[in-house]
A and B are shown apart, each in its own frame.
Chain A
Amino acid sequence: MNTRPAVADPLWVRLLLTGTALLFLACFLVVPLAAVFAQAFENGWRAYLAALDTPDTKAAVLLTMTVAVLAVPMNTAFGVAAAWAIARFHFPGKRTLITLIDLPFAVSPVVSGLVFVLLFGAQGLFGEWLIERGYKIIFALPGLVLATLFVTVPFVARELIPLMEAQGADEEEAALSLGASAFSMFWRVTLPKIRWGLLYGVILLNARAIGEFGAVSVVSGHIRGQTNTIPLHVEILYNEYNFSAAFAVASVLTLLAVLTLILKSLVAWRLRES
C-alpha cells in the first residue's frame, strides 16, 4: 500500500488508470483466451473429444513431441555451453557473440524456415546432392527439427548468461581447490546453482518449440499425417472450414500455454528466493 502521501494519487486516478489497463488486457488477452474454449466446445463435449481423437491429430501430436524431444535438449546443451564460456571467461569479441546468439530472435520465423529451404530444398545448394543419395531434409522431420532449433537457439543462453555473471565463480573455484574434477564440479556445484534459471529457460524453449508456426510452415510441406505439427494441423482444419475441430486442437495448445505461464511464474518465484 502506498503510505507516502506526497506520491499517492487520488482514488479516482487510481481507479481510472487501473480500470483502463485491465480493460486493455481483457480485450487483448482474456477475451481471445476464452474465445478459443467457447469455439472449441460449441458443439459440446462429444464433438470436442471426437475432433481430438482422429488419426491426423494423433500424428500431429506425435510429430510435435518428436521435434520437441530432439530440439529442446540440443539447444539446452548449447545454452549451457555458451553461458559457461561467456559468463566465466574473458575473451575478445564476447559482446559480438552475445549479439549473434540473439540473432534468431530478430529474424522473422518465415525467413528462418527459408534459409533451410535454400540450403536443402530441391532447388537448394545441397538439393541435388541430397536427392541423389535419397536423403530428405525439407518436407521431412530433419527440416522441422532444424527450423525449430534455429528459432529457439537463444532461450537458455540468455537466461543463464546474466544469472551466471551475477553468481560469480567462487563456489566452482572452491570445489576445484578441494580437489573436485571438472565433471564433478559441474554436476555438484554449477548445475545446482543454476537449476532454476536453467529450468526457466527450458520452459520457454519448450513452449516455443511446440508452438512454432512460421518457420516450420515453410519447411513442412503440409503432408497430412506426416509432416504436420500441431499448429500446422490447426491451420489445415481451419482452412477446411472445420472450425470447431480447429479450435478443439487449438484449445490443447492454449492449455499448454497457460500451463507454461503457471510453471514460469512458479520458477521465477523460486529464482527470486534463491
Chain B
Amino acid sequence: MSAVVPGPGSGRTGVRRRVLPGFGPALGFTLTYLSLLVLIPLAGVFLRATGMSGAAFLEAVSNTRAIAAYKLTFGAAAAAAAINAVFGLLVAWVLVRYPFPGRRVVDAMVDLPFAMPTAVAGLALTAVYAGNGWLGQYLVPLGVPVVFTPLGVTLALTFIGLPFVVRTVQPVLQDLELEVEEAAASLGASRFQTFVRITLPGVLPALVTGFTLAFARALGEYGSVVFISGNLPFKTEITTLLIMTKLEQYDYAGATAIASVMLVVSFVLLLAINALQAWARRRGNAPLQATV
C-alpha cells in the first residue's frame, strides 16, 4: 500500500517502481459499497423467486394479463427505439454537418429527457397530447387518439429514449473522415450513394448501440408512462405498472416473479450493450458512453 518511492537525489532514478497509494482501501470500499447497496439486494429478488413453487411462479409470470403487459412493453419499447434510431440519426447528422443559428442551444436541449424528472415529462406529454391539448386537438379529430392508448405509451418511451441515439452517433459522425466521402464522390457516387455505402456503415455500430440503450431504458420505464397510458389492464398496462399494482395489493410473490423476469432481460441487454461497444471499439469508432 505504502508507495515505494525513491526520494529525490537518492540516485536510484533507474528504478521505476512507483506504486500509487490507496488501491486496497479504494477497491475494498468500492466492492463493499456495491455489494451492500446493489448486488446483495438484487440477489434477494432471485432468492425470493426461488422460494415460490414452480407452478405459482409460472402462473405469475405467464398469466394472460402479464403476457399482455410484456407484449405492450416490448412492442412499444421497440417501436420507440426504432423511431429514435431514425430521428436520432437525423438530429445527430444535422447537428454535426449543418451549421445553423442556435445549434448549441438545440444540442444542449437534446439532453432534456435525461434532466427532466420522468413524472414531469409524463404530465407534460399528457397535457400536450390530450384531446384538448396543444397537439392532441389536431390529432384526435384525425382519428389518432394518443392519451390512454398504446400510441401514448410509445410516445412517452420515445421521449425518454431520445438522447441515447443522438449521443452515441454524434461523436462517431464527428470523427468520420470527410476524405472518404470525397473519394466516393470523385469516383462518381451520388451523395445518397455515399451516405448509404460509406457513412451509414461507419455509424452502424453506434446506431445499434444507441438503439439498444434506448430499448433497454424503455423496458424499465415507469414515471413518464403512467400518466399518459391510463393503466388499463390488457390494453395500456406496462410491465413495471403491473409490478407496482401487485405491490399495492400486497402480492409480493407475484411482483417478485415478474421483476425477476425483467431483471434477467436487463442483464442480457447489459451484456449485449457491452458486446456492441466492444464491436464499435474494434471498428475504431467507439461511441462515448452515453447512458445517463
Contact with A along B105-129 (1 / 0, CB 8 A): 0101111111111111101110110
Closest Cβ neighbor of A174 among chain B residues: B18
Q: Which residues of B contact A39 (CB under 8 A)?
A: 127
- B279 beta carbon closer than 8 Å to chain A: no
Contact call B98/A17, Cβ cutoff below 8 A: yes
Partner of A33, one of B97, B124, B181: B124
**With A110-B222, A204-B292 as given contacts, are A173 and B20 in contact (CB-CB < 8 Å)?**
yes
Closest Cβ neighbor of B89 among chain A residues: A21
Partner of B109, one of A14, A25, A111, A177: A25
- B234 beta carbon closer than 8 Å to chain A: no
- B135 beta carbon closer than 8 Å to chain A: yes
Q: Which residues of B contact A129 (CB under 8 A)?
A: none
Chain A: minimal CB distance from B171 (Å): 12
Contact call A146/B90, Cβ cutoff below 8 A: no
Contact call B41/A116, Cβ cutoff below 8 A: yes
Q: How far is the CA of A84 from the CA of B30 in the complex (A)?
A: 10
Q: Which residues of A contact B237 (CB under 8 A)?
A: none
Contact with B along A239-273 (1 / 0, CB 8 A): 00000001100100110011011101100000000
Q: How far is the CA of A119 from the CA of B45 in the complex (A)?
A: 9
Contact with B along A183-199 (1 / 0, CB 8 A): 00110000000000000
- A50 beta carbon closer than 8 Å to chain B: no
Q: Which of A105, A117, A162 has the most CB of B within 10 A?
A: A105
Q: Which of B45, B127, B158, B250 has the most CB of A within 10 A?
A: B127
Contact call A217/B244, Cβ cutoff below 8 A: yes
Counting chain B residues whose Cβ lies within 8 A of the other chain, the interface size class is 35 or more
Q: Which residues of B contact A117 (CB under 8 A)?
A: 247, 252
Q: Which residues of B contact A155 (CB under 8 A)?
A: 292
Q: Which residues of A contact B142 (CB under 8 A)?
A: none
Contact call B291/A18, Cβ cutoff below 8 A: no
**With A84-B26, A111-B243 as given contacts, are A207 and B38 in contact (CB-CB < 8 Å)?**
no
Contact call A176/B5, Cβ cutoff below 8 A: yes
Q: How far is the CA of A153 from the CA of B271 in the complex (A)?
A: 19
Q: Which residues of B contact A29 (CB under 8 A)?
A: 109-110, 112-113, 159, 162
Chain B: minimal CB distance from A251 (Å): 9
Number of interface residues of A (CB under 8 A): 102
Contact with A along B83-117 (1 / 0, CB 8 A): 00001001101110111100010101111111111
Contact with B along A207-221 (1 / 0, CB 8 A): 100111110011000
- A49 beta carbon closer than 8 Å to chain B: no
Chain A: minimal CB distance from B192 (Å): 9
- A60 beta carbon closer than 8 Å to chain B: no
Q: Which residues of A contact B94 (CB under 8 A)?
A: 17-18, 21-22
**With A4-B182, A35-B124, A250-B124 as given contacts, are A235 and B119 in contact (CB-CB < 8 Å)?**
yes
Contact call B216/A115, Cβ cutoff below 8 A: no
Contact call A32/B128, Cβ cutoff below 8 A: yes
Q: How far is the CA of A107 from the CA of B104 in the complex (A)?
A: 32
The A77-91 residues at the B interface (CB cut-off 8 A) are: 78, 81-82, 84-86, 88-89, 91
**With A103-B270, A257-B117, A262-B108 as given contacts, are A114 and B123 in contact (CB-CB < 8 Å)?**
no
**With A25-B106, A158-B291 as given contacts, are A231 and B182 in contact (CB-CB < 8 Å)?**
no
- Assuming A36-B124, A101-B34, what are 17 further A-B pairs, CB within 8 angstroms? A29-B113, A32-B128, A78-B29, A81-B26, A82-B34, A85-B23, A85-B27, A106-B216, A107-B42, A111-B220, A114-B259, A146-B37, A179-B8, A213-B118, A214-B222, A234-B119, A264-B108
Closest 3 CB pairs of A and B: A108-B220, A211-B117, A213-B223
10 A–B contacts, CB within 8 A, in A order: A39-B127, A78-B33, A108-B219, A110-B244, A111-B243, A176-B5, A217-B223, A257-B115, A257-B116, A262-B108
